[in-house]
């Protein structure tokens, strides 16, 4: 059996092996309540990674997600009093606009996505600093509970946060596999020149992909903000690396075209298990970034489709 045939199955095999390893070393890992809280903790990251999947699926990348989530935590906190639940719409709109601008700059102005999204991330950072007055802000507890308290309840033992994540996953999965837009994404990711030649409006597909990435990042920021009951221009820092890792270890390669949102779900769980293992092995938080950086390199090297790079790797 060749490696190329095992490759698509590698993510879930990795997940299974990791879970077994961690479980054997520490049987309390399988405690349902503990496991459930681990999964719930990873929800904002998962939502951000879901959005990132769309950007990577078309062969781009979105480096603005972290700053965008930061901006949304600030917007949500500042405008909660004014709009109530409606602040969610403001957040989603902000995410859509920033993402769409990144997409526009990438497709129409020919700026590579890693530069355009990096730059838009700094624009978002500026906006976050402006809205927050460069301070850490806190939500009014009563207002938070009346508007967004439902996010953190339980129904029959299932946390609502998890339900939100699953609903978004189903939505993203539907978008990716059951719509024309999803097929176009696949076409663009598999080979952009071919997609252009067959008359697809590639620019529109790419702009939408970045906009979706922005929307999911905004939702992640909103949930994170409500969870921590506040907003700050640096609150979501540290998410970017983990979101990219989640997408790539899930099996969506940097070159795009294969993988997808279900892979990202597996990838996020892998990240979660690695994190749990590090806590168990008493590797403290400061070293985790290093470990995930190395995991990232390994994941890219394993998944990337080198035939698409046409011999030249810049």
Partner 1 sequence: MTEVVAQTAPRASFLTRDRIIKWAPLLVLVFLTLVFPFFEWLEDLQEGKQHLFLVDSRFFSIRNAARILIASTPALMVAIGVTFIILMGSIDLSMEGTVSVCAVIFAFAFISWGGTLASWAWLAIPLALVVGAVLGFINGLVHVRLKIPSFMASLAMGFVGTGFALLLTGGDRIRVEDEIFRSLLTVRWFNFPIMVYVALAMTLLAWFIQSRTTLGRNFYAVGGGEELAHASGLNVTRVRLMGFTLAGVFFAMGALLAVGRIGIAETATGNNFMFISITAVVVGGTALWGGIGGVWNTLVGVLIVNVINNGMVVIGLPSYAQDGVLGLLVIIAVVLSTDRKSVSFVK
Interface with partner 1, residue 106, by CB under 8 A: yes
Instruction: Give DSSP secondary structure letters for 187-224.
Output: HHHH-HHHHHHTT--HHHHHHHHHHHHHHHHHHHHHHH
| Site size with partner 1, rule: CB under 8 A | 52
Interface with partner 1, residue 281, by CB under 8 A: no
Interface with partner 1, residue 115, by CB under 8 A: yes
The residue within the footprint of partner 1, chosen from 110, 155, 156, 199 (CB under 8 A), is: 110
Interface with partner 1, residue 27, by CB under 8 A: no
Give the nearer residue to partner 1 in terms of CB position, either 29 or 57.
57
Residues 6+ apart with CB under 8 A from 313: 306
Interface with partner 1, residue 200, by CB under 8 A: no
End-to-end CA distance of the chain: 32
CB of 243 to partner 1, least distance (A): 12
CA nearest 269: which of 258, 280, 277, 279?
Answer: 277
Give the nearer residue to partner 1 in terms of CB position, either 88 or 240.
240
CB of 100 to partner 1, least distance (A): 14
Interface with partner 1, residue 7, by CB under 8 A: no
Interface with partner 1, residue 196, by CB under 8 A: yes
Chain centroid offset of residue 71 CA: 16
The residue within the footprint of partner 1, chosen from 32, 157, 199, 311 (CB under 8 A), is: 311
What token pair was written down for 97? 């606009």
CB of 286 to partner 1, least distance (A): 4
Q: Which residue has the tokens 């020149």?
A: 193
d(CA 171, CA 55) in angstroms, rounded, equals 16
| Relative orientation angle of helices 65-83 and 202-228, to the nearest 10 degrees | 60
Q: Site residues for partner 1, window 61-90 (CB under 8 A)?
A: 61
Interface with partner 1, residue 93, by CB under 8 A: no
d(CA 117, CA 230) in angstroms, rounded, equals 25
Burial of 32 (0-12, 13-18, 19+ CB in 10 A): exposed
Give the nearer residue to partner 1 in terms of CB position, either 177 or 234.
234
The residue within the footprint of partner 1, chosen from 8, 34, 86, 293 (CB under 8 A), is: 293
Interface with partner 1, residue 53, by CB under 8 A: no
CB of 56 to partner 1, least distance (A): 10
**Contacting range for partner 1; rule: CB under 8 A; set: 8-16, 87-95, 105-113, 268-276:** 105-113
CA nearest 44: which of 271, 233, 256?
Answer: 271
The residue within the footprint of partner 1, chosen from 120, 211, 261, 272 (CB under 8 A), is: 120
Q: Which residues of 163-180 are buried (b: 16+ CB within 10 A; e: fewer)?
A: ebbeebbeebbebbeeee
Binding site for partner 1 (CB under 8 A): 59-61, 105-107, 109-116, 118-123, 125-127, 129-130, 134, 192-193, 196, 202, 241, 254, 286-294, 296-297, 300-301, 304, 306, 309, 311-314
């Amino acid at each position: 059996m060749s490696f190329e045939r095992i490759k698509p199955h590698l993510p879930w095999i990795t997940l299974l092996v990791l879970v077994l390893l961690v479980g054997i070393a520490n049987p309390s890992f399988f405690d349902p309540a503990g496991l459930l809280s681990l999964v719930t903790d990873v929800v904002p990251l998962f939502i951000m990674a879901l959005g990132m999947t769309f950007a990577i699926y078309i062969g781009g990348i979105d480096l603005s997600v972290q700053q965008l989530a930061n901006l949304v935590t600030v917007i949500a906190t500042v405008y909660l009093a004014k709009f109530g639940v409606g602040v969610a719409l403001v957040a989603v709109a902000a995410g859509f606009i920033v993402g769409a601008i990144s997409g526009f700059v990438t497709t129409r102005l020919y700026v590579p996505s890693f530069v355009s999204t990096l730059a838009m991330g700094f624009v978002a950072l500026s906006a976050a600093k402006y809205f927050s007055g460069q301070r850490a802000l806190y939500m009014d507890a009563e207002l938070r509970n009346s508007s967004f308290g439902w996010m953190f309840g339980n129904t029959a033992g299932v946390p609502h946060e998890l339900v939100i994540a699953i609903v978004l996953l189903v939505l993203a999965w539907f978008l990716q596999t059951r719509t024309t837009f999803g097929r176009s994404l696949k076409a663009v990711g598999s080979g952009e020149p071919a997609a252009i030649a067959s008359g697809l409006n590639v620019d529109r597909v790419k702009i939408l992909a970045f906009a979706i990435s922005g929307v999911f990042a905004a939702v992640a920021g909103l949930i994170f903000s409500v969870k921590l009951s506040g907003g700050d221009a640096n609150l979501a820092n540290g998410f970017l690396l983990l979101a990219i890792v989640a997408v790539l270890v899930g099996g969506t390669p940097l070159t795009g075209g294969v993988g997808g949102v279900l892979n990202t779900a597996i990838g996020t769980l892998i990240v979660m298990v690695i994190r749990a293992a590090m806590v168990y092995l008493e590797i403290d938080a400061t070293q985790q970034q290093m470990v995930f950086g190395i995991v990232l390199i390994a994941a890219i090297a394993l998944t990337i489709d080198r035939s698409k790079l046409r011999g030249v790797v810049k």
